[in-house]
Amino acid sequence: MPQRGTIYADLHNHTTASDGAFTPTEVVQRAFERGVKAIAITDHDTVAGVEEAREAAKARGMWFTSGIEISATLEGREIHILGYGVDTGNKALLDYARETRAYRDNRAESIIAALQERGIKKFSIRDVREVSGEGVIGRQHIAKAMWNKGLVKSVREAFDKYLADELLPEAAQREFPIQAAIALIHAALGVAILAHPARVISGEQFDALLAAGLDGVELHHPSHDTDVCQLYSILAKEHDLLTTGGSDFHGGNKRDGSNTGRYGLMQEDFLPFAEALAGRSSAPQKPMQKHAQRLVSGLTRFFAS
């Protein structure tokens, strides 16, 4: 749902650390130029872009918090959980990022093998690496690499013809239950927010997220219409959840670029979120960290592959 005027906080952005087209500094600069005052970087399954973005935001006098977008699963469905305010040096979080990067590397190889079986020859992991650089590999990189090679006319065509979930079982993410994702974020002292809930979710699935300790929902997102915003706004009030928003900026196409500064939180909606984050990382939270650390110690079995 496009909002009126420039928003205050854009809390959902991708950089070259995952499948974004711009470096962390460039993403912060673009938001700054559009009048955004508060920003978070939320790359897929990595915090590698956070410290650079933090410096860039600081240099421009912007509010900043760390972030990550975790690919989690619930009953076989992929659910994205945003973690804000996470400690980027947290061992469990870094272990998760390292293991997931390895998984995604293997997954990219499987996807390329599957594409070759579907007749896409002369396409290799090297073509994808040229696009991803050091970034955590995602399907966006594969789509762009296919476009670079002239195999499709657009990134959209790559998804529509080859890479969409339903067309490519090889693209399935590994099992990483939402309970594990939320515990991981809490162990790293972050708050756990359900990303772009538009297409998720039955009542039971929402209850499972609440039972797992979900702290909030992303209300404002390019994929949300007014009805979705209203529904999740009501649910958030009912369950005392935080609400967030952002552009899900990736760069690399026109629509994305114009989303910067248009999706996110106005100042009055941003303040409760900022206060909750500030409270979370203060000293009295230490016992909670210990508790969360215990919760997360059972996670290693998900890293086994």
Sequence-separated (6 or more) residues with CB below 8 Å from residue 272: 242
Nearest distance, CB of residue 168 and ligand AMP, angstroms: 10
The half-sphere exposure of 15 on its side-chain side, counting CA atoms within 13 A, is 28
* Cross-strand pairs, 74: 77
Sequence-separated (6 or more) residues with CB below 8 Å from residue 283: none
Nearest distance, CB of residue 276 and Mn ion, angstroms: 21
Decide if residue 139 touches ligand AMP (CB under 6 A): yes
Region near ligand AMP per CB under 6 A, out of 2-10, 31-39, 138-146, 254-262: 138-146
Q: Environment class of residue 197 by beta-carbon count within 10 Å: exposed (0-12), middle (13-18) or buried (19+)?
A: buried
Binding residues for Mn ion (CB under 5 A): 19, 69, 80, 195, 248
Phi then psi dihedrals of residue 178, to 5 deg: -55, -30
Scan residues 172-231 and list those touching ligand AMP (CB under 6 A).
Answer: none
* Residues 20-59: x where in contact with ligand AMP by CB under 6 A, - otherwise, as a string: ------------------------x---------------
Decide if residue 140 touches ligand AMP (CB under 6 A): yes
**Tokens in use for 202?**
């039955």
Nearer to ligand AMP, 90 or 100 (CB): 100
Region near ligand AMP per CB under 6 A, out of 48-56, 124-132, 134-142, 218-226: 134-142
Nearer to ligand AMP, 171 or 241 (CB): 171
Rounded to the nearest 10°, the torsion over CA 216, 294, 51, 79 is -40
- CA–CA dist 187, 259 (Å, integer): 32
Nearer to ligand AMP, 19 or 215 (CB): 19
Residues that bind ligand AMP (CB under 6 A): 19, 44, 71, 138-140, 156, 159, 164, 250
